[in-house]
Chain A
């Protein structure tokens, strides 16, 4: 069989850039000590690398203060820190039916425990949320609006800039889940008036798994830590420090991951984010156009690929998407993601519950040949199914 065609880049990009992996090993071999903790120069050097990476991340997202770049394990971790740190009894939250479980489950947990209430705004037939619907759901006790910048099922880029302005008018902070957008769609937190952003390194940011972050604008002041411990500063005090970023970071940082993130940001800078996006969208258009010509294939919210990233959701009529994924893997050497994609409400709205769909997600290293082979495979599967 030919090499694996990897089309599960929305789960995690693979492979990672070889230069990023090489630099990770080189740097970690040289300064892989506890960053910022200890009186020796190497610890200071590692600490400096962490600080510089915070600066890079802040600059990347248009955030004003590198000290408000909090390193986390991933976007889910960042979202939990934000939601548990910001919400208080009696608060109301506005979110959407597009969300991943990384938002839905923490919200549901808080509601089930009688702490908050929330409303989930539906999306339209093209996969977009209307900012006016968000505004209409804001109540006097609304403490937060939270939504995905990009749907992990549909690939649609939500109008975050407009939602940010509208939230600011109502003095409600906007937190965005940038898991699927970070590294492929530009974000400018300050000008868009985004109060907070959760990202993960291992998707379009092309860093390894295990590193992500929560980036806060200065308007977020009253966020409480939900975990406590060593920070490397103010160690004589039993009260966890309030200074950012340590307020929300406890324990030794993932230095190897931070090195990877630093290097991957440089890689993206060299490649050009727009150029990566353009390349992926060319392939996505080719995939969409090919799939739409096949009998027996259903596509979801894919008529118009403007404001989109390189992922597409489909089904083969009459087939369990789990089986389609298994066939693509074993018979054709193509890796895709099947099922509900941890976003059950999207599938409920699409009518694809409980089995979900097949998601094709393109990365910077996919080629036209990958798409052509995928189209041939899908044509074969659909034809086979029609013959029964």
Chain B
């Protein structure tokens, strides 16, 4: 991600800003989640992973990212905790350890899924 280029705009309680990611101008929120799922590409994933401190996504990490993308594409939402565990065949504790940012700010963000907005 190469810095912000546009003024911030408030939308609800999340803020949008335009960033250059993998050579493209992409809208993200204030936590660095993609604003539009369709802006995701494998190059964007690598750039977001690099932001988390991952030099290059390995095969296991790509399996996680692809699972999340496919699930979201089919169901229109992120997997529930139990679906994530069953679908990946690993514990969420192991999943959390796979990405420096953890599950939400690591795996989910790199996969380009929307920032979950359930009450926090």
Contact = CB atoms under 8 A, between A and B. Distances in A.
A355 interface: yes
B65 to A, nearest CB: 16
Contacts of B92: 323, 326-327, 330-331
Interface residues of B, number: 18
Nearest to A101: B119
B11 interface: no
Given A331-B85, A381-B93, A326 B120 contact: no
Interface in A370-384: 380-381, 384
Interface of B: 81-82, 84-85, 91-93, 96-97, 101-105, 116, 118-120
Contacts of A245: none
Nearest to B103: A323
Interface stretch (A165-173, A176-184, A293-301, A337-345): A337-345
Contacts of A331: 85, 91-93
Contact of B81 (A329, A339, A388): A329
B15 to A, nearest CB: 12
Interface string A353-388: 001100000000000000000000000110011001
23 contacts: A319-B96, A319-B102, A320-B101, A320-B102, A320-B104, A322-B103, A322-B104, A322-B120, A323-B92, A323-B103, A323-B104, A326-B84, A327-B103, A329-B81, A330-B85, A330-B91, A331-B93, A338-B120, A340-B119, A355-B120, A380-B93, A384-B93, A388-B97
B117 to A, nearest CB: 11
**Secondary structure dominating the interface of A:** helix
B119 A330 contact: no
B105 A326 contact: no
B39 to A, nearest CB: 23
Contacts of B93: 327, 331, 380-381, 384
Nearest to B85: A330
Given A319-B96, A384-B93, A342 B104 contact: no
Nearest to A342: B119
A327 B120 contact: no
A348 B79 CA distance: 30
Nearest to B86: A330
8 A-B pairs with the lowest CB-CB distances in the bound complex, closest first: A339-B120, A330-B81, A323-B102, A330-B85, A327-B92, A323-B103, A329-B81, A330-B92
Contacts of A326: 81, 84, 92, 103-104
A355 B119 CA distance: 11
A4 to B, nearest CB: 11
A355 B120 CA distance: 7
A380 B96 CA distance: 13
B120 A340 contact: yes
Interface in A280-337: 319-320, 322-323, 326-327, 329-331
